[in-house]
Amino acid sequence: MRMRFTVAIASVVALGSSVPVLAHHSFAAEFDSDNPIDLTGTVTKIEWMNPHTFIYIDVENEQGKYENWALEMGSPNGLMRRGWTRNTLKVGDVVSVTGSRARDGTLKGNARAVMLASGERLFSGSSQPGAEPQESN
């Protein structure tokens, strides 16, 4: 526990001097960190592209209808360093995604982490400040 506390302190001190993100544009201009999303659905499309990878998932809403969400992740180079490969996700996989919804209210969000069908959870290179714990510097 003491070790974890030390790591947390290091993280916050680092946050104080800089913003850990993987971004080419402003997170706050597009997404609302006060509007979190936690979605589970079936992958319908994967765009393994720059500057942001997008995955699209069909999510059942409260009315029982399926809606297709677009979820922004980091760039392929950044995702690769977080353990992703182009084979990590496949169309038809059921995944859970946590993150923030777009300010414009559309079915778009910024993914912070993705729980894969295998149960493995990977950070997805979110551009949200502080989205990922930092264990160094």
Contacts to another protein by CB under 8 A: 4-5, 8-9, 11-26, 28-30, 47, 49-52, 54, 72, 75-78, 80-81, 104, 134, 136-137
Query: Rounded to an integer, what distance in angstroms lies between the CA atom of residue 71 and that of residue 111?
Result: 6
Q: Which is nearer to another protein, 59 or 82 (CB)?
A: 82
Closer of 49 and 60 to another protein (Cβ): 49
Write phi, then psi, for 31 (nearest 5 degrees). -125, 155
CB of 66 to another protein, least distance (A): 22
Rounded to a whole number of angstroms, the minimum distance from the CB of residue 24 to another protein is 6
Minimum CB–partner distance for residue 62 and another protein (Å): 25
CB of 100 to another protein, least distance (A): 13
> To which H or E segment does residue 13 belong?
helix 2-17
Alpha-carbon distance 7 to 87, whole Å? 32
Q: Would you say 31 or 39 has its CB closer to another protein? A: 31
Question: What CA–CA distance (Å, rounded) separates 39 from 112?
Answer: 12
Of residues 65 and 70, the one with the C-beta less far from another protein: 70
Contacts of 52 (CB under 8 A, 6+ apart): 24, 72, 73, 74, 75
Contact 107, 69 (CB under 8 A): yes
